[in-house]
Amino acid sequence: MSKIMIVEDDPKINQLLQGQLEKYGYHTVNVIHFDQVMDVFSQAQPDLVLLDVNLPKFDGFYWCRQIRQVSNCPILFISARESKMDQVMALENGADDYITKPFDYDVVLAKIRSQLRRAYGIYAAQETERTLEVAGLRLFLERMELTMEGEKTELSKKEALLLEALFNQYPRVVSRERLLEKLWDEQFVDENTLNVYITRVRGKLKELGLDGAIETVRGSGYRLKVTWEEKA
């Protein structure tokens, strides 16, 4: 039974969607407190998300970006906002489709079935693990692990995101602003917090015997530096 998470602040629409989906055998999960969308998502691990645009505090675009940082599950927007720009923004922020209100329940169900088939059914692509490598140093993004010559160290989610940015830009510099945006999106954090994570990641690299592998470029940011090849 597929699990559908409904992020809709209109109680009437929420109830109607839930009833219709359960009628066709789907298990539904509702969000009650709209500042806890990611908590509900992490706990429920839904197969698909129905997401409204207009929500309390943060809008659906924000929550779509948050979900995309941890999951590739299908996301369908359902919204009364009909403008072309809203639909473009939804797709640009990671959505798979956009349905405008008032909607036909048969159309919603057909789109849900279509997305589930593509994600998990006969049309689903073989899933391959995302791995980045620089000179033998390998970053396993889904496992949140870093390996070097058979040695392994585990990473937190933000440590993995930080390293992903450095791997993707190697040997170029990644600015502090880019790292702050990638790790904390639109949330305000003290810049010293980034320093703390840089120190932690340097420590994880040191566990693998890699000293100086993250270079500070004064006034610009940080870059990955292959010091281990220079020693060879």
Percentage of the chain lying above the pLDDT 90 cut:
61
d(CA 50, CA 48): 7
pLDDT in tens, 49-95: 999 999 998 999 999 999 988 888 999 999 999 899 999 999 988 89
Supply φ then ψ for residue 153, to 5 degrees.
-135, 145
Three-class DSSP category at 132: strand
Task: Annotate 140-180 with three-state secondary structure.
Answer: ECCCCEEEECCEEEECCHHHHHHHHHHHHHCCCCEEHHHHH
Residue 229 pLDDT level (bands cut at 50, 70, 90): low
Q: Are 32 and 15 in contact (CB under 8 A)?
A: no
Q: Is the pLDDT of residue 46 over 50?
A: yes
Q: How far apart are CA 91 and CA 66, in angstroms?
A: 14
Q: Report helix, strand or coil for 41.
A: helix
CB 145 within 8 A of CB 154: yes
DSSP 193-226: HHHHHHHHHHHHHHHTT-TT-EEEETTTEEEE--
The pLDDT tens digits for 105-160 are 999 999 999 999 888 876 666 556 788 999 999 999 888 899 998 889 999 888 99
pLDDT at 173 over 90: yes
Which of 34, 30, 40, 25 lies closest to 54 in space, CA to CA? Answer: 34
- Indicate the SS3 state at residue 121: coil
- The predicted pLDDT at position 118 comes to 84
- How many angstroms separate the CA atoms of 126 and 119, rounded? 10
**Structure tokens, 112:** 């849900």
Residue-level pLDDT at 232:
44
Q: What angle do CA 79, 62, 44 make, to 5 degrees?
A: 85
Separation between Cα atoms, residue 209 and residue 202, nearest integer Å = 10
End-to-end CA distance of the chain: 54
**Domains of the chain, with CATH numbers?**
3-120 (3.40.50.2300), 131-224 (1.10.10.10)
